[in-house]
Structure 1
């Protein structure tokens, strides 16, 4: 009888432990910040990504799928929340507007962190570092930014590249003319057609447009930080993402994604 009572007590304790563990998990889930829990409750994370930047955000019309480093980060965040991810193609001109009107929860789209943007949006810690560079036609014999003095540089509308170039030109006693186009593929085409003398944007973006007829100049400048943007009021969501990014840096997850797309981030202190 005593043996039976002892076994019954052990069983009851085990049952209580299971129940307590289940309750603890539920409590932990309940502790998600309200803004994060709201997304979890909808079952969908809406993310703005590029569709024309190979290795970062690219839409393959044949497969009907998005690929790239930023696409994978979006999927990884969604997986942490246990929700589906819904991608929306954005450009440098539209990514903020789509956040503003609620069509996207986040933008992960080569979004450079600067003071002006931080004043208007909630932006995560950097997940990638890059430098501004130049893609030029090999036949033009341009080997350094100094060779571009007086020439036309193509930049994307709505990007920070033109501002960076103006500051760089001023500090190096250079003069650039500019052509602003709506997308990176348009700029690559303009370079191939010799309508511009260089296509300028962050170096890692340029790697997606290298061909046998062009090259990226070795010299880059103005280290850029890419961040994940949300509405200014969604700081809880940003803090949650910062926690994930810190975890993924520590466990090597981010590096694995870089390696998959042959990306080599600039050093944070590079200039």
Structure 2
């Protein structure tokens, strides 16, 4: 895990000594200042990171982190009254949404990896997850090796899709791999008996089970099939924007706000009524502590 955290840290664009073009703002920040609006990309069914409440309003851990970034953007562009517009994205269209300027910050459950870092920038680490399997409780599946010849559903455009293809090839499982547009549809395929397993990040599986109150129907099983450090995604090549995002995380770390924020969404009861009850991992706690220490070093 330590090596993975190091990789995640290396993916970040160094903001130290960042200069803007002339005296102006970077393109994203200039547009925000001109329009007084920040566009936040959200997911409909990635609890507790980014999902809809009973009134169909976007809420979640990732969105609250993004809202803190918006406050810091307001300081940077000298506009404390910035408005937020929420834009729905899926796992398949989230990167194009960032690249095309449809969203300024993507606030979901997105893995920061080297391949994606060629196209977009990522915030400091906000969560550590990995691919596991959701299966019916009555099934005999306890890991990938038990999937031989079976149907596995994955969500399109995710690292989990790549992980399942890799394990299928490695173990010669002869899987029938089907894709769906979003996590909710993937869950529904499993619930309807159209798949034997649903493969995605373990924390998202726990979130879906909690949301659907289906603890008596499904369980999460197997070894990790991938390592997935999460970050907030934004446009690459804008050092000033990167500096604002990193400054937000350092401030949250220094003020000791990150662990209470984590507990609000992962340990306490959610606004929608369910409870995840997932304690913070040592790896993530260490990453938050590094943010605290980095502020003191600056």
For this structure pair, what is the TM-score category when the shorter chain's length is used for normalisation?
A: 0.7 to 0.9
Q: Deviations over 1:96-124 (max 9, x none)?
A: 22222222111122111122211111222
Judge which range, 229-238 or 201-210, deviates more: 229-238
Report the Cα offset of residue 187 of structure 1. Answer: 0.9
Alignment size in residue pairs:
238
Question: Is 1:126 the counterpart of 2:104 in the alignment?
Answer: no
Q: 1:239 to 1:170 in 2, by over 3 A?
A: farther
Aligned twin of 2:187: 188
Give the alignment partner of residue 49 of structure 1, picking from 33, 36, 42. 42
Aligned 8 A contact 2:43 2:51 in 1: yes
Residue 70 of structure 1 pairs with residue 62 of structure 2: yes
CA displacement at 1:64 relative to structure 2:
3.8
Q: Which runs of 5+ in 2 are unaligned?
A: 1-22, 75-79, 267-277, 285-298
8 Å contact 2:62–2:232 — kept in the other structure? no
Report 1:101-180 matches (<5 A).
101-171=100-170, 174-180=173-179
Matched, 1:224 2:228: yes
Match of 1:243 in 2: 247
User: TM-score by structure 2 length?
Assistant: 0.72
Is the contact made by 2:66 and 2:232 (CA closer than 8 Å) also made in structure 1? no
Deviation at 1:238, TM superposition (A): 2.0
C-alpha displacement at 1:157, in angstroms?
0.9
Select 2:71's aligned residue among 79, 83, 105: 79
> Aligned partners of 1:162 and 1:265: how far apart in 2?
26
Q: Secondary structure at the match of 2:118?
A: helix
Secondary structure in 2 matching 1:230? strand
Alignment of 1:195-234 (within 5 A): 195-210=194-209, 211=214, 212-217=216-221, 219-234=223-238
Asked which structure has the greater CA Rg, the reply is: 1
Residues of 1 paired with 2:243 and 2:47: CA distance? 28
| Cα pair distance change 1:35/1:178, threshold 3 Å | same
TM-score, L = length of structure 1: 0.78
- Residues 248 and 154 (structure 1), Cα distance of their counterparts in 2 relative to 1, 3 Å cut: same
CA RMSD of aligned residues (A): 2.4
8 Å Cα contact 1:122/1:235 also seen in 2: no
